[in-house]
Amino acid sequence: MSQNIENKVVVITGASSGLGAETARHLAAQGAKVVLGARRLDRLESLAAELGLDARAILSTDVTDYLQVQALVDRALELHGRIDVLINNAGLMPSSMLDKLKIEEWNRMIDVNIKGVLYGIAAVLPKMKEQKSGQIINVSSVAGHKVGPGGAVYAGTKWAVRAISEGLRQEVKPWNIRTTIVSPGAVDTELTGTITDEDIAKGMAKTYENAIPASSFARVVAFAISQPDEVDVNEILFRPTVQVY
């Protein structure tokens, strides 16, 4: 077990599949007290059973609703009295060319990928300020560094995550709060299942042929959390070794 992960109270959004679920497994195995949110409660229940979690350590949470995000964080406080790490992980990637005018999908990405992250920050900041400690980990993407055809809105949301995270980093210094951006390349999860545009889906399937396991992300998160308190790992960008873009 890692010294600086064991017993930490870690809230993860989007914990019902992919990166969030795998990170819950990895951190729980290292002794973290995980509290997990997502909309699919049946998935969270299976994960809780697998990890032997208290039934109260999972909560149906839609990150587009600020009150639900607050309720998830409040649950962690009720159970453990503190919050050490928030992983703002929930997200979706229904990529398409702008001229397809998939406005509902643009709105959804903005609501989940940007506003969901802001709601998470709002939900934990007062307590972390009071504690004078904490770590907020926001999940961006290689798409937060690069944009290509079909990826304008998704990249826009992930760019926004990096901008918000950097502003947050500068502002929370007085309270000893750490901030980390994790920007993955192609990782094997359910993410590409959110793409409704057939042409984009085909191209993406090709890119994701080289996707690496979600455990790669979990190890990166664990690395950032496990650093000594005075070490603030601000961003990690990683890709499959063979991924060009």
> Which residues have a catalytic role annotated?
154
Closest CB to ligand NAP among residues 100, 115: 115
Q: Which of residues 30-49 bind ligand NAP (CB under 6 A)?
A: 38-40, 43
Q: Which stretch binds ligand NAP (CB under 6 A): 1-9, 27-35, 49-57, 185-193?
A: 185-193
Closest CB to ligand NAP among residues 91, 150: 91
Would you put residue 14 in left (φ > 0), alpha (ψ -120 to 50) or beta? left
Q: Which residues contact 74 (CB under 8 A, 6 or more apart)?
A: none
Q: Which of residues 97-136 bind ligand NAP (CB under 6 A)?
A: 112
Q: Which stretch binds ligand NAP (CB under 6 A): 47-55, 57-65, 99-107, 126-134?
A: 57-65
- Interatomic CA distance for residues 138 and 113, integer angstroms: 10
8 Å CB contact between 171 and 226: no
Closest CB to ligand NAP among residues 131, 197: 197
* CB neighbourhood size of 72 (10 A): 27
- φ, ψ at 60 (rounded to 5°): -60, 120
Q: Which stretch binds ligand NAP (CB under 6 A): 84-92, 97-105, 127-135, 168-176?
A: 84-92
Q: Which residues contact 80 (CB under 8 A, 6 or more apart)?
A: 9, 33, 35
Closest CB to ligand NAP among residues 125, 137: 137
Cβ at position 131, least distance to ligand NAP in Å: 25
8 Å CB contact between 112 and 120: no
What are the tokens at 235?
């961003």
- Interatomic CA distance for residues 43 and 114, integer angstroms: 24
Q: Which of residues 199-238 bind ligand NAP (CB under 6 A)?
A: none
Cβ at position 150, least distance to ligand NAP in Å: 15
- Interatomic CA distance for residues 198 and 83, integer angstroms: 42
From candidates 54, 190, 199, 229, binder to ligand NAP by CB under 6 A? 190
Residues that bind ligand NAP (CB under 6 A): 13-20, 38-40, 43, 61-64, 89-93, 112, 139, 141, 184, 186-187, 189-191
